[in-house]
Amino acid sequence: MNTFFCSDYARQVGEDVIGSANNYQTYVLIECPPPWMPEAFNSKWIPKNLQTLVKEVNRTKLPIRFLLIANDLSHKSNHTTLLIYQKQIGLSYGYYKHEFKLPNIEQASEVVRQYLQGKLSEYEIETNITRDILVCTHGSHDQCCARYGNPFYFYAKATISDLHLDNIRVWQSSHFGGHRFAPTAIDLPEGRYYGILEQESFRSILTRTGDIQCLNKVYRGWGILPPPIQILERELILNKGWDWFNYKVTGKIIEQSLDNNTILGELTFEDKSGSLYTYQAKFVKNQTKTLQVKSSCKATEKSVFVKYTVDSLWLVSHKIVTYSA
């Protein structure tokens, strides 16, 4: 019997990965050693109080994403790391990080509840870590994440070590969407998503050097922006180069046609000098790039993934910041 791998198929048909980053307000990342069940929070190490909290929050439909994370030390560790990444408001670089060192996973539910109620926790700590990179290795959820995610996680660890990037951590993660683009990763605190990653592009992403055009193939989009605006942002990255990663950005959809074939969007950014630019763009459905594919290895039906193209782009406003002596 032929085994279907959704990631192989997406590569074969040349699906464009841009516009597939998820837009969450909050990420709650809880350290828990694998193996994980297909539904991660049904796994054996997850206490009842945490399962209850996740169900409660999911019922509210708030844009909060719970994920399990692990590294090679998680099995032996005498504490549990809890990371909460909160989206910045307005013009931003992405998310704020809150890190907690818990005696064990049983405390996670209470600390997350306190955080969601705006209360402080005695378990919050400061660290020198400036980036957390999550690689989906959740093979029980989708076999492509085992097939491509696991080897990539080990490679990513070795690369970070070789480059002596002591302030970057890499984690195995439970499913966060887009496994047909495995190996897939989220780079926090920015909240940028990547897929179909390989060694050279990952090294460029880590160091922000090398050929910026590699993002054409592997950049899924920035999770603080609505999916169509992610397409425009990629165009601006390719135009501005790695320097773009030092800019603050915000974006929104202004209007959408009833058939979703055309969208009007806006993106504002502030460059390093503090100058502010606002662009508007018209996006149109790209009939050639819009595909019907199976969204996962287990999918029985194909799903339609509508792709858009920037049809026209214009500068709406530009404010130059002047500093008086």
Other beta carbons within 10 angstroms of residue 300's beta carbon come to 6
3-state helix, strand, coil in the chain (%, to 5): 30, 30, 40
DSSP strand pairing (168-173 vs 192-194): unpaired
Based on DSSP, count helices (H) and strands (E) in the chain, helices before strands.
8, 16
Task: Give the rounded percent of residues in the chain with a pLDDT score beyond 90.
Answer: 79
Query: For the residues 238-244, what does the mean pLDDT come to?
Result: 96
Average pLDDT of span 216-222: 97
Give the integer Cα–Cα distance in Å for 112 and 116. Answer: 6
- Nearest partner of 4 among 296, 305, 303, 291, judged by Cα: 296
Domain coordinates of the chain in residue numbers? 6-218, 226-319
Dist. CA 76–CA 20, nearest whole Å: 35
Do 6-218 and 226-319 come out as alike in CATH topology? no
pLDDT at res. 1: 42
> Distance between terminal CA atoms of the chain?
75
Q: What is the pLDDT of residue 138?
A: 82
For the segment 94-99, the average pLDDT, to the nearest whole number, is 98
What does the pLDDT read at residue 182? 85
pTM assigned to the model: 0.94
Q: Once rounded to an integer, what is the mean pLDDT over residues 58-82?
A: 95
Fold of 226-319: Nuclear Transport Factor 2; Chain: A, (3.10.450)
CB atoms within 10 A of CB 88: 15
Q: For 281-300, what is each residue's pLDDT tens digit?
A: 999 999 888 877 776 767 77
Mean pLDDT of 225-238: 96
Residue 93 in this model has a pLDDT that exceeds 70: yes
Write the CATH number of the domain with boundaries 6-218.
Answer: 3.40.30.10
Mean pLDDT of 179-193: 94
Longest dimension (CA), the chain: 75
If we measure between CA atoms, which residue out of 151, 313, 292, 184 comes closest to residue 236? 313
The reported pLDDT for the residue numbered 228 is 94
Average pLDDT, the chain: 92
Please tell me the distance from the alpha carbon of residue 31 to that of residue 13, in angstroms, as a whole number: 36
Percent of residues, the chain, with pLDDT higher than 70: 95
The pLDDT score that the predictor gives to residue 177 is 85
**Nearest-10 Cα torsion for 220, 222, 227, 229:** -120
Mean pLDDT for 10-21 is 84
Instruction: Give residue 24's pLDDT.
Output: 95
Q: pLDDT at residue 140 above 70? A: no
pLDDT at 10: 74
Q: Are 44 and 30 in contact (CB under 8 A)?
A: no
Summarize the confidence of residues 144-150 as an average pLDDT: 83
Please state the rounded mean pLDDT for residues 93-117.
Answer: 97
